[in-house]
Structure 1
């Protein structure tokens, strides 16, 4: 299933620290892990435990795996779908402002005047203008734009 790191496991007077194990099953406050591939346990100890131990969720380092969020494909698709919705809304909002920016750009002398007339920041105005290929005034607050910008 998922490989996890266990910080501490105590059985009687023996203690094992920082070993890798395979997550088999999750419980409410603990998890069953497979120690058959772990190098921390001897062959006799593995046989004694039948290659399985139950540890507290608090001692497992990978919190996402024991919380049940180890299926990363589902997580990625839901995040991507959310981002697509947000970017679609933002594009529609920019399109709404593009017409007003084009109108204001033809009437104003400076970029700051365009931004004031629209009620948005100059960076927003520049971004929308570049996206919709709107020609903006070359002067910014009475001074020529620096060519490096």
Structure 2
């Protein structure tokens, strides 16, 4: 999984410092690591521990990998957070225009007239109208609107 550095591990009267291990599982305040490839432990010690030990999260150097975000997920997480922020901003912007579109829809006969009055494209007007359930006129520029296939 993810390789981490353990600052300190104490078992009985023995102590191991600054060794590398593979992160296996996360718990609430500790993590299970695989020590089979670690050079800090002897073969006998590895057999005693069954190649697995549980250490405190505070003793792990790489805090990000222990917090629940793998290195492979870092980019995905930041991109998702950015997209969430953008979508919230866009939703707020559409909400601002919803009132104007509803008012223009009651006064105008065509979709193009509504778009001109609001100052946005017809596709934006349609999207906002469908999101906020605003009834639009069926005529588009004097002609009946073609029903989408």
The TM-score range, normalised by the shorter chain, is 0.5 to 0.7
Q: Any idea what SS the aligned residue of 2:92 has?
A: helix
What is the SS of the residue equivalent to 1:137?
coil
Equivalence map 1:1-149=2 (5 Å): 71-148=71-148
Backbone CA RMSD of aligned residues: 1.7
Structure 1 runs (4+) deviating above 2 angstroms are none
Alpha-carbon distance in 2 for matches of 1:125, 1:90: 14
Aligned length: 82
| Structure 2: tracts of 5 or more residues without a match | 3-69
> 1:71 deviation in Å?
2.1
Deviation at 1:117, TM superposition (A): 0.1
- TM-superposed CA distance for 1:129, in Å, is 0.3
TM-score, normalised to structure 2's length?
A: 0.52
- For residues 147 and 125 of structure 2, the distance between their equivalents in structure 1, rounded to whole angstroms, comes to 18
SS in 2 for 1:135: coil
